[in-house]
Structure 1
Amino acid sequence: MIRVLIVDDEKIVRKGMISFMPWEEFGMSVVGEASNGEKALEFLETNKVDLLITDLSMPVMSGIELMGEVSKKFPHIQIVVLTLHQDFEYVQQALRVGAIDYIAKTELEKEQFEDVLSRIVSLMDQKDSLKRNLISEEKVEEANELVVLYSLNLQRDEAKLEPTLLKRAFEADIGIWYWTDILEKEKVSVLEGLSKMDPTLEYALISFQDLKGMDRKSILQLIRGYQKSGLFYDFDPSLPFQVVQSEDVLVKKDKREAKQDLIKMKEKWLSGEWIYDDTVFARMCYELKSMRMPPIRLTRFFYSLTDEWNRLYSRILPEPIIIEDFLSSWFHFEKWLRDTREIIKVINTKTPFSDEIHDSIMKAVTLAQQMIDQPLTAGEIARKVNMSSSYFSQCFKEIVGQTYTDYLREIRIERAKEYLRNSSKTIQWISEKVGYNDEKYFSRLFREHVGVLPSEYRKIVP
């Protein structure tokens, strides 16, 4: 509630404003009135006030003089001036001294009350926000510790906090609030408040240490940058409050995964070894997490893998394996991986082959992807995975749902489409890159399966 003090030497003006303006509708309450500046200061000494509405022309102490005293002694109080139209120059002076707005007494008619109060509340919010930012800038640069509250549910409208949980907090960005001098009991209060909220809404309370020598801009970049990547990997719902060293965040921020690392990682996840061996699965999860890919890149990376898994198991999957567009943390992502692993394990039991055979077929699929530019026959691939040619062909068709030849042709056409969409390379170059040395044969094959020649496909795709 905004507490208001009205100061005017005309009693009828004071009583009229108190009685007729819809204060409560705008979260306001008139807590006092005074007939001049001196009485107003006496009232302020013993009462809490947020907004002072004062006339400019008063005996004993003018409105301008009152504003000067209030600005010195009660800087948190915001001021609106009352005036007549002929006092325009006086109003300009009042605005320069610090008033946020003025009310012309001729405006005080019933149909304008709502407009006046609405305007004042809006201006108070703007001024209060500016003050908080200035205070924040001073305190951030002096802080040795910064306690930051992150929302992990930014894509949900429900991800809102009760104002009581954010007392004395500053907002750094959407879904990020921080305290420069939070007390231990306040931390406990915030954590208790969060625990009572909807359990599907997740928040992380992080204490950043070792901030000495960092200016406000660097600190805000740190906590915003941590939200984009570090928070995803560090969040643990069993640890509602965590301590993070700022130096560690900065080091991790500079780490970038190499393209070659991604290729090798994709090869591993396309093999079947991780499905049946717990140790291999744990090691691969650790390696993947250590790369600390930005969450959006990690999601895209596994989009392509789920496409391959779905193609591989399309015949026996009850429904396609999907990855959500938004996963709030590594904790949830790893759970998705474990669930996916169990799904594949279950569907593999529907075929009459051992885990070793499934693993060999998955290795064959990986080799086909890796050596797509080479003319590998089914017999050559069978030898590479230590299987006889006939048994390999039988197992491949049973597990994958199509012959090795059909599968190889399909992935080659799909790779050619990627080259046509994303490069300006010649048709001959693309043909060779997908395992066909004869450009004419490749073009004819492409048209049979896509419906248009490669050159025409390049023109019609976006």
Structure 2
Amino acid sequence: MKALIVDDERHVREAIKLLVGWQDYGIDAVLEAENGQAAIELAERERPALVFTDMMMPVLGGDKLMAWLAERAPESKVIVISGHDNFEYVRTAVKYGGLDYILKPIDPDQLNQAVARAVESWRAEESARTRTRGADMELNQLKPLYAEQLFGALLKGTGSAQEFAELLRRGDDGGARPLETVRVAVLELDSAPALAAKFGADGRDLLAFAVANIGSELLGGRGCGQAFRHSVGAHQEIALLFWDRLDEVPALLVEYNDALQQAFKARFAFGVGQPEPFPHGLTASYRQARTMLLQRNLLQRGKHVHCLGDFAAAPAPAEPPLFFGAFEEKVRFAVQSGSQDGIRKALRPWFDALDARTRITPENLLLWRQEFRLAAAIWEGSAPAADAANPYAEADREAIPADAGGGFDYAAWKESFAQEALAAAKRLKAGAEKGSTIRDIAAHIERFAHEDLTLQSISDKFHLSREYISRKFKQELNQNVSDYITSCRINRAKALLASPHLKITQIAEMAGFQDEKYFSKVFKKWTDQTPSEYRKRLYDVDAK
């Protein structure tokens, strides 16, 4: 604790120093100033707990000093020591919070009693200030987490827009942050698994925390936005909310990416939505940003910020849709053969078709992988693996391998595709049974489940009675034919729901259900969810 003695007479300062038992009060430093101006300079730097001041001094008097202290250092306790028993001086001392007015010559007891009261008052207030600072620190630590929860709730349509806006307005600068029009950008973290691994066991969470902090520091420093960690299923992303400088968002994201490159030696892809009114347009801008990420061209090198409107400005060349199903038969035969060389050779036409494309999007990768996994699950359904565990856990996003520069590692993605085919062959070999007609019937169902398939048409195809097929199918696959047809159609529908551009009616027809209402009823019976709910939960795509 520090004390400051202000008096233009040196002998008065010395007397005060001698008369007070400083150590008894916990005061370990006693400063001196000969006028109010010198005292202000010391007070700004040293922040004394106690100030003893005369009223009449050259340069700057005690009244002006007390006015300054009341405004700039209100925590300092002031004791006036004056040679003038003047009502105006006393009134000034009271006005600016002086605790005592002691007349010269100084009475030692009166002086020490005044010091004791001042120290007690300062300590009581300092204790309160310490508690307040602690509470502020806790609030500042919890505030980002609470803001993230509110942001996530708003995207789901359940949060309080007013509460969220008020929380953001409590910035360090104390200024009101308008939330009339907002713009959302999304940074996907799944493309950096190797980077997350460097952070240890909690790599993804630590990486998300670090990336969000850099974003909040950059945007907060410009007073235009904030970064939030946001979870979509098992995946983490960074959502950036802008409420100012909306036209500069692409440039700000380039600057943000430069900072991430400097910190992590990696760049990330951003999707950017359009400016939308808050709060009703928040979700729309967010979904636009997510769509931009899903539809970005992974073959385009050096572009990391993808804004809604880019496609209109530079329309993509028209390319016919490409489906793995067109190449499935040769791959299936190779997988069933178990030959590694044969599998790679069978995949070559599929990869050649991919190589000929000028545009590959994350949405394409997701659909192709889902197609392959559906096909592989069907192959394995014909010959159940020895291990009952399902090797194909449902995933709502395709892992996009990145090269050292943060771009799409196309070769690594193709190799991962090949490795999945090789793994399917191993599982088939481990649990394969000897060939049977029933297995051929199952393969036929899996391939043509989307058509008008019935037990009678299967009987006609394989020249076997319906009774025989039903009995043997149940014996070998532990499932009746109609349920097997339905399960194949449901699995096909699940894969098709990954594409946000397909309507529910289209998916119903493509999966083999001629009636949308019947499709929804059967889908809910099998999955305990409607197609719309399934699509939103796993793919975060709105139903159409």
TM-score higher than 0.5: no
Q: Which has the larger radius of gyration?
A: 2
TM-score, normalised via structure 1 length: 0.44
